[in-house]
Amino acid sequence: MKLARRSVTHVGRFIVALCVTSCAFAQFPPGGSQSQSSQVNQLPLSGRMGQGGSVTATESPVPGTTTSVDTINPSIQVQGPYAGSVPSGAKLPFSGKLSLNDAIERGLQYNLGAVGLAQTIRAARGQRRISRSDLLPNLNGILSETVQQTNLEAFGLRFRSPLPGFAIPTVVGPFNYFDLRATLSQKVADITAWNNYRSAVETVHANEFSAQDARDLVVLAVGGAYLQVVAAEARVQSGLAQLKTADALYQQTSQQHSVGLVAQIDVNRSRVQMLTQRQRLLSLENDFAKQKINLARITGLPPNDRYEIANDVPFAAAPVASVGDAVKQALEQRADIKAAEAQVRAAERARSAARAERLPSLSVSADYGAIGTNPAQSHGTFSVVGSLRVPIWQGGRVGGDIEQADAALTQRQAELDDLRSRVEADVRDAYLDIQAAASQVDVARENLQVSRQNLDLTRQRFDAGVSDNLDVVQSQESVASAELDYINSVFAHNVAKLSLARATGRAAEDFAQFLNLQ
């Protein structure tokens, strides 16, 4: 009888041990982790960086103005995040008077385009850390206390008693066990994971270069907006002078009419001229206020026109350099070209990672811990597993990954080739604009001198009663047009110089030199 009971007890313990071991392996597999297949981190198809914004110099009319000749009349068009900013007043106090250097400094810190790209760099660095984690050891600690009762019949286990009158229980437990364990996993040879990491590193470099390029775009946007405000203010001053001249002529004509020296038509003509100049001035003042609000928007200032401009940017000759030297300099130091080159390298690494999915990979995993009914009665256990994974058939996934990576690489290479051509075109366009604007400044200056002289002569003839005021009104219009031509030509020349600084990739560092600021 005692022998039978011992046999039953040993069988029961064996079954319990079998169940405990099965449960333990179910929760803590050998090596502490399952071997995961490596897969390429596909890059997006488009290699264009940035936030979708752009800053360009285009030609547009000035509201409320007419010109006597077809002068270059550019304006800076800012689109996307470069047209916005985050508030800067709390962090960078503002005195109410804005210089060009101060405006650009605020733009570089608070313009939304620069801020957005700074966050893009952070995201790329985070992705780089994620890719690097696949190459580094992964260490985890696990502490568990398990209480379990198992129905053996549910697993299909049925036992027949060796002795009549004795039944082997089908329900085992409840029983408990304690496990404290550390797990370690390490990829020893995984070329796909390594190339994924190198691709992520190049992506970070591309974003860093794009952030540098964004600084030049911010300088072009802010500097161009500042120049537009300066030109708008000059147009307002010219409009005020023209209005004073027209009003003086109207008063003089009215007095002459009251004593019978001129006809009513002369009074009406001078009054129409005075009202036209007043209407033109209102339009110019409105444009001036809107330009100031636009400048405030892209520099982080409150969006209003209640501030003053500190710098007047007069005409000054452009820095002397040959077109060939400027093109060579641009191709060597433009940050957007360096970003595109880094994108090509990242795409090459991604394609290598895709091709490496067909190669075997080796990983090692291990765990060590203490397991028992309680900490005092536990015993150390460990396992070390080396896994060699050999891809045999993946259902065509590897071929698809290679095709996607190759398409991204082809597009990035095409974008780099196009960018190099566009950079050279930007430099040559800026040189042409500088030359044309400089010539038009000379013409406009001479035209303004002649127009003012002609106005003086016609007023003398009118005062002497030799002619009516029609010639005076026409001369006034010529002076107004000549002044606007000169203002627009100087503005066009300054914008062309700023565009050249951006085209050569040195706008953030050399804008003061290009604009001849003290």
For residue 60, being part of any structural domain is answered with: yes
Q: Which domain holds residue 259?
A: 31-135+190-514
Q: Considering the chain, what is the average pLDDT of its residues? A: 85
Residue 174, preceding peptide bond in cis (omega within 30° of 0):
yes
- The encoded tokens of residue 308 equal 């003053």
- For 361, the 3-state DSSP assignment is strand
CB atoms within 10 A of CB 475: 22
Is residue 25 included in any domain, yes or no?
no
Q: What's the pLDDT tens digit per position in 140-185?
A: 999 999 998 988 888 777 777 677 767 777 888 888 888 999 999 9
How many CA within 13 A on the CB side of residue 148? 18
Parallel, antiparallel or unpaired: strands 138-151 and 74-79: unpaired
**pTM, 2 dp:** 0.81
Residue 63 lies in a domain: yes
In a domain, 116, yes or no: yes
Residue 164 within any structural domain of the chain: no
Chain CA centroid to CA 415, Å? 17
Q: What is the CATH number of the domain that holds 427?
A: 1.20.1600.10
Is residue 11 in a domain? no
3-state secondary structure of 220: helix
Alpha-carbon distance 294 to 85, whole Å?
A: 11
The total number of structural domains that make up the chain:
1
Residue 14 lies in a domain: no
Q: How far is CA 367 from CA 17, 25, 139, 207, 382, in A?
A: 21, 12, 9, 40, 5
Distance between CA atoms of residues 389 and 193, nearest Å: 14
pLDDT digits (tens, 9 = 90+) for 5-34: 444 444 444 444 444 444 444 444 444 444
Place of tokens 């001035």: 281
Strand partners, 86: none
47-96: pLDDT as tens digits? 554 445 677 766 555 555 554 445 556 677 888 888 889 887 667 788 88
Give the CB-side neighbour count of residue 430, counting CA atoms within 13 A. Answer: 31
Please tell me the distance from the alpha carbon of residue 96 to that of residue 308, in angstroms, as a whole number. Answer: 6
Question: Is residue 111 predicted with pLDDT exceeding 70?
Answer: yes
Find, among 76, 81, 79, 333, the residue nearest to 223 by Cα: 76
- The residues, any chain, with a CB within 8 Å of residue 94's CB and separated by 6 or more, are 88, 301, 307
Q: Is residue 157 included in any domain, yes or no? A: no
